[in-house]
């Protein structure tokens, strides 16, 4: 069975600086998808970025980028130029390409932005 | 698009009462999910519908929980009778089911059973 591990329960960063959130996963599959979701205090889960395992190029979305290391089964999220609005819980999630529904979730990392 | 719409946003009820949570998925999406989030257990998938048909309900904790999707634009999650341990945030999410697409979440219903 697949598992997702986020080893950092909480991280803090100074506003405008860069922070990296860690995520590792375990799977025997070769084709899958990885996601980072953000959950601000408003509670809604918002997709931040998505990575297809068959793509070697790391996904980027504005200030958000990932470092996808398939062999190491690592999928970290880098947030550049941190803003106060980035403060939230961040969840890493895995989905097999063979299944169109089952998301496997990490426990989450609480990101604190210091003004 | 208004996104996934859940109601109510908050629900406080007494133990033993019936609770019904509602969800309107994004138009055109054919997959719908109900999740429960607690501090202790994180996000748990309760049930998954595809084209209005329940595909996987293995996450439904017990017979007190039931879910329906009478049509493509509406789903309910019912708890009867409710218990204090059911207190959690319940999320509904939908996706178009295509390969690799993400699920879009509603804002959740915070349920408190006293």
Q: What percent of chain A has pLDDT over 70?
A: 98
- Please work out, in degrees rounded to the nearest 5, the angle formed at the alpha carbon of residue A3 by the alpha carbons of B5 and A50: 50
Identify all chain B residues contacting A33, using CB atoms and an 8 Å cutoff.
Answer: 100
How far apart are alpha carbons A49 and A30 in whole angstroms?
20
Do B42 and A52 count as a contact with CB atoms less than 8 A apart? no
Do B45 and A50 count as a contact with CB atoms less than 8 A apart? no
How far apart are alpha carbons B15 and B79 in whole angstroms?
11
- Tell whether the model's pLDDT for residue A91 goes beyond 80: yes
- Tens digits of per-residue pLDDT, A22-43? 999 999 988 899 999 999 998 8
- Tokens 């109900």 correspond to B34
Q: Please tell me what DSSP assigns to residue A73.
A: T
User: Do the Cβ atoms of B112 and B13 come closer than 8 Å?
Assistant: yes
Q: Tens-digit pLDDT profile for chain B (114 aa)?
A: 679 999 999 999 999 999 999 999 999 998 999 999 998 888 999 999 999 999 999 999 889 999 999 999 999 999 999 999 999 999 999 988 666 678 899 999 999 999
pLDDT at position A18: 98
How far apart are alpha carbons A51 and A24 in whole angstroms?
14
């Amino acid at each position: 069975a697949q598992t997702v591990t986020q080893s950092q329960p909480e991280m803090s960063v100074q506003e405008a600086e860069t922070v990296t959130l860690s995520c590792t996963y375990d799977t025997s599959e070769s084709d899958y998808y990885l996601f980072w979701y953000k959950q601000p205090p408003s509670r809604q889960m918002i997709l931040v970025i998505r990575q297809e395992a068959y793509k070697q190029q790391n996904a980027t979305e504005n200030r958000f980028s990932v470092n996808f290391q398939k062999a190491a089964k690592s999928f970290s999220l880098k947030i550049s130029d941190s803003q106060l609005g980035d403060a939230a819980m961040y969840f890493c999630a895995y989905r097999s390409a063979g299944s169109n529904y089952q998301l496997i979730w990490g426990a989450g990392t609480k990101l604190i932005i210091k003004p | 698009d208004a996104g996934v719409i859940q109601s109510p946003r908050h629900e406080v009820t007494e133990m033993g009462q019936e609770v019904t949570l509602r969800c309107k998925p994004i138009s055109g999406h054919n997959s719908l999910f109900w999740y429960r989030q607690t501090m202790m257990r994180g996000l748990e998938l309760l049930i998954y519908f595809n084209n209005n048909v329940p595909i996987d309900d293995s996450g439904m904790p017990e017979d007190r929980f039931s879910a329906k999707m009478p049509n493509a634009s509406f789903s309910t999650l019912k708890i009867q009778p409710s218990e204090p341990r059911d207190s959690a945030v319940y999320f509904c999410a939908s996706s178009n089911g295509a390969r690799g697409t993400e699920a879009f979440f509603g804002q959740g219903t915070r349920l408190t059973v006293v």
